[in-house]
């Protein structure tokens, strides 16, 4: 449920204060409903309509920003049906974008990334191609927040996001999975090619300087794990994530500020029946008169 914030009356224009009181009452009702259905079913979707006379869409947008109600849709009944339809379509596009993107960095969120990864795995299976997964974790990020504050930590997160956006190809997927953890999905890229690309990203990120109030500029690094999937069906999505996570753990434990590639089994088995055995080698190369 959307968290509704309460603001002092000085933040609300005089002509909109009655509306703010109504929103406060609605907030209390919604919170009560949320508490009552804590253990109940989670499905259900409704649209709530409220007629507001004497209020423009612009005024409503101001109130929506104050109360964190950007998911609420306002349509002007004084405008044409065509204009309202366009407003509705734009609002739906905005909501779709918000539901699949991290609000801080603008990267795709975990839900969108998981969906893209599932789609890519199916494509890889059909086309017998490859895809590489990268899991990235900013080194010592807790110390950044503790030392410089969370606003400065947000700058670091956005700094890494900017580097990822600049470095990735159009069809690559960059996401923030949560906290200081990011991910890349690189269709058609081998593990070694991916490692080289991520090392360049690491170099660019480590060269950034972050300046926060009352502190000297500082830089950050990250650790990354790489794993690869091909169309032979030897690796599932779950296994791919586990391999990338394991490689990330190895990068962290080996000193951080590096990229590790997961050690994976060969994607095919040798037909040992066609191999030359040691006794046959001895016969072939022993030399006979």
> Which residues are CB-neighbours of 93 under 8 A, at least 6 positions away?
none
What is the structure's pLDDT at 10?
43
What is the structure's pLDDT at 204?
97
- What residue ranges do the domains of the chain occupy? 9-100, 110-261
Class of domain 110-261: alpha beta
Cβ distance 4 to 30 under 8 Å? Answer: yes
Rounded-to-integer distance, Cα 55 and Cα 49, Å: 14
> Which residues are CB-neighbours of 189 under 8 A, at least 6 positions away?
130, 131, 132, 197, 228
Catalytic residue among 36, 79, 125, 180: 180
pTM for this prediction: 0.64
Rounded-to-integer distance, Cα 189 and Cα 168, Å: 12
3 state SS of 83: helix
Compute CA distances 256 → 155, 222, 253, 289, whole Å. 21, 7, 7, 61
What are the φ and ψ backbone dihedral angles of 77, each rounded to 5 degrees?
Answer: -80, -10
What is the structure's pLDDT at 66?
75
Identify whether 120 is a catalytic site residue.
no
* Lookup: tokens for 4: 């509704």
Per-residue confidence in pLDDT tens, the chain, 289 aa = 333 334 444 455 666 666 667 777 777 777 777 667 665 555 666 777 777 777 787 888 887 777 777 777 777 766 665 666 666 667 666 666 677 889 999 999 999 999 999 999 988 988 889 999 999 999 999 999 999 999 999 999 999 999 999 999 999 999 999 999 999 999 999 999 999 999 999 999 999 999 887 889 999 999 999 999 987 766 789 999 999 999 999 999 999 999 999 987 655 454 555 555 666 556 556 655 5
The residue behind tokens 């890519």 is 120
């Amino acid at each position: 449920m959307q968290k509704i914030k309460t603001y002092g009356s000085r933040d609300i224009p005089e002509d909109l204060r009655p509306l703010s009181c109504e929103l406060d009452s609605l907030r209390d009702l919604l919170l009560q409903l949320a508490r009552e259905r804590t253990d109940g079913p989670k499905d259900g979707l409704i649209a709530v309509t409220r007629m507001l006379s004497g209020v423009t869409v612009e005024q409503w947008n101001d109130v929506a920003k104050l109360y964190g109600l950007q998911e609420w849709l306002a349509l002007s009944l004084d405008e044409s049906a065509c204009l309202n339809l366009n407003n509705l379509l734009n609002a739906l596009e905005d909501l779709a974008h918000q539901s699949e993107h991290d609000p801080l960095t603008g990267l795709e969120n975990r839900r969108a990334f998981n969906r893209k990864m599932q789609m890519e795995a199916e494509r890889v299976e059909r086309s017998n191609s490859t895809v590489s997964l990268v899991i990235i974790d900013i080194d010592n990020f807790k110390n950044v927040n503790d030392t410089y504050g969370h606003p400065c930590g947000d700058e670091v997160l956005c700094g890494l996001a900017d580097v990822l956006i600049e470095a990735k190809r159009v069809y690559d997927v960059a996401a923030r999975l949560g906290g200081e953890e990011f991910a890349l999905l690189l269709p058609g890229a081998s593990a070694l090619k991916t490692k080289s690309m991520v090392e360049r990203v690491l170099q660019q990120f480590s060269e950034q300087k972050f300046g926060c109030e009352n502190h000297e500029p500082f830089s950050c690094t990250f650790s990354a794990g790489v794993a690869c999937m091909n169309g032979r069906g030897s690796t599932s999505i779950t296994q791919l994530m586990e391999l990338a996570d394991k490689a990330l753990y190895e990068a962290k434990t080996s000193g951080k500020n590096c990229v590790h590639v997961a050690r994976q089994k060969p994607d095919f088995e040798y037909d040992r029946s066609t191999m030359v055995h040691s006794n046959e080698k001895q016969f072939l190369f022993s030399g006979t008169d």
